[in-house]
Structure 1
Amino acid sequence: MKSNQKKAWLFLAPTIIFVTFFSIYPILRAFVMSFQSGSLINLNWSGLSNYQYIFSDPEFWRAIRNTLLYALISVPVALAISIMLAWFIFSRVKHKSFFETTFFMPYVTSTIAIGIVFRYIFNGEYGMLNFLLRALHLPAPNWIDDPSMSVTTIIIFGVWTSLAFNIVILMGALRNIDPNYYTIADMYGATGTEKFWRITMPQLVPTIAFLLTMNIIAAFKIYTSVYALFNGQAGVGNSATTAVFYIYNKFQIVGTPGVAMAATVVLFIIIMFVTFLQRKMMKKIGGQ
């Protein structure tokens, strides 16, 4: 009814205003600023000069390369490990709630605090990780101070921090699967592997698609992990710089907001494109 529509718009108005001012307006403002140069309080129209600058800046391409590498490796690896752990807990462990709480604790803990702890774990001289590697007679690299290991260190840290959210969401999805599917499968003598691939995985496709989308977007926005692991820097010689770290550096440190916003627009387009491809892929998988 029309009268109910008016009431609905009235209730939606605060949310629409909030989203407009804090989400839509900043995106439009960033797009406009990407065509401007100068300080934040004295911006002047400069056309495509900011885009020309970032596309010719080797530091920008290093940031994009590191971000893409991080997203392409950490997201699928973390999701695969999360599915295995969630399935193991769901099918084998009795006290599921205890393990869910344990796995979820890192998600509600400050990334900075966790990063500081991992900075000591990754320490090349006295870190716990290298202590275990040496005990197993394996190479013990300098995870923090070796530029060639910077992205690997971020990926390992990213995989670990992603597990908490992924496992809890997957556990909820596993609980929603009708147990009758497994009962019928047992009647026909299906093995655990067959039940997992023929029942569990098809039922998890919508949840996996959701987690892929969330994790990919989070991976492209990685900043706090780099800041925490490398003590406010982007690794030795900026070897661990990412797209958001590049934006922060150009905006806050160098003082060129126009360049930072141009990089922001490019990153926004990349995220939209990758998310679109991922969703198309998951729809095809789900329809098979």
Structure 2
Amino acid sequence: MPTQPTLDAAKRLGPSVHRSTDSGEAEHGSRPRRRRKFGHERRRAALLLLAPSVIHLVWWIGIPVVATFFLAFTDYDVLANTVAFNGLDNFQEIFSDPTWNASIWHTVVFTFFTVPVAMAIAVVLALLLNVKMRGSAWYRAAVFMPHVTATVAIALVWMWMFEPRLGVVNTMLGWVGIDGPVWLADPDWALTAVIIVSIWKGIGIKMLIYLAALQAMPEDVYEAARIDGASQVRQFFSITLPLLKPATFFVLVVSIIDSFQAFDQLYVLTPDGGPDNSTTVMTYEIYRTAFKEFNMGAACAQSVVLFVFLLVLMLISRRLTGKEDDVR
């Protein structure tokens, strides 16, 4: 049985023990509130930081895309500022236009020759520049330089190079006994000249992406292949190409989008769609329909067709280069 001093001490300590217990519970209860407040402040700060990008995305991309799809089914008079729904009349109009149908074919040909050729050359250059050698940084910068050079400046230089009498291209062809054509003024060769310029200009960025992918590859895989006696060619097809699949998918998608949206180099090299509309592509025809003929409804319908083309090509390229799990 406790003694009287012990009972007196317990009575004296009791209120303080209760106060400490209550303060501990209050402290533990305030921590979740502080965490919730801190989390709310972080979310608010994140929303404030994202707000300019979201506003820019909605205002300059989201609203124009929605407006394009809406106006594609209307007769929009820009000068009178009137809109009248006309169903599929704009699509019937553009597909009955031989110039628009020719522009689709020119865009497909331009993409078909520009993208795979530039990608193949970029892979070869990346393999060559991935080797440790003296001055490799200068070679990489030289290959990448056309990508960061102004398109108008590149087009003007190539216009001089394609000059039929004094141009570098025909002069070099004359050395081997070939009479060069009138490149940019010949309907049979104008698109070929534009394709050559586009391939040369687009190699740099593709090479840089492939070079980064090559430098990230594990070296132990190649060491194991060399121990097994695999040749350089076998290593390239069995190791390098499969490991380049994610980079190939990215380069392919970006290149197709860039080719279907090509405008500036064609506009400078071959104004007004080239001789006999031989270099008229979909983007230039959209520009001409909208800002020269002021037929905004038809131009929006052409833009929708271009979007569908890109969407289908993206799905095909994804199927060709592998599923999403393989790309990661």
Q: Shared topology, TM-score over 0.5?
A: yes
Structure 1 unmatched runs, 5+: none
* Correspondent of 1:115 among 131, 155, 166: 155
Mapped partners of 1:39, 1:93: distance in 2:
62
Mapped partners of 1:145, 1:285: distance in 2:
45
3-state SS of the aligned residue for 2:189? helix
Matches within 5 A, 1:1-288: 3=40, 4-41=42-79, 42-45=81-84, 46-91=86-131, 93-230=133-270, 232-283=271-322
- Aligned pair count? 287
- Are the aligned partners of 1:226 and 1:233 in contact in 2 as well (CA < 8 Å)? no
Letter of the aligned partner of 2:186 in structure 1? Answer: D
Cα displacement (A) at 1:283: 1.2
Mapped partners of 2:287, 2:161: distance in 1:
27
User: What are the superposed Cα offsets for residues 174-212 of structure 1, whole Å, 9 maximum, x if unpaired?
Assistant: 111112222222333322112211221111110010000
User: What are the superposed Cα offsets for residues 47-95 of structure 1, whole Å, 9 maximum, x if unpaired?
Assistant: 3221111010000000000001111111011101110111111136443
- Are the aligned partners of 1:36 and 1:43 in contact in 2 as well (CA < 8 Å)? no
User: What are the superposed Cα offsets for residues 191-241 of structure 1, whole Å, 9 maximum, x if unpaired?
Assistant: 2112211221111110010000000000011111111212x3211121110
TM-score by length of 2: 0.82
- Are the aligned partners of 1:86 and 1:167 in contact in 2 as well (CA < 8 Å)? yes
Structure 1 runs of 4+ aligned residues shifted over 6 Å read none
Overall identity of the aligned pairs, in %: 30
3-state SS of the aligned residue for 2:75? strand
TM-score by length of 1: 0.93
- Are the aligned partners of 2:146 and 2:202 in contact in 1 as well (CA < 8 Å)? no
- Are the aligned partners of 1:66 and 1:241 in contact in 2 as well (CA < 8 Å)? yes
Mapped partners of 2:317, 2:58: distance in 1:
27
Is the radius of gyration larger for structure 1 or structure 2? 2
Give the stretch that moved more between structures: 187-196 or 242-251: 187-196
Change in CA separation of 1:194 and 1:81 when aligned onto 2, cut-off 3 Å: same
Mapped partners of 2:293, 2:148: distance in 1:
33
Mapped partners of 1:197, 1:96: distance in 2:
24
Give the stretch that moved more between structures: 153-162 or 2-11: 2-11
Structure 2 unmatched runs, 5+: 1-35
Change in CA separation of 1:37 and 1:279 when aligned onto 2, cut-off 3 Å: same
Mapped partners of 1:286, 1:140: distance in 2:
49
Mapped partners of 2:254, 2:214: distance in 1:
19
Mapped partners of 2:310, 2:155: distance in 1:
25
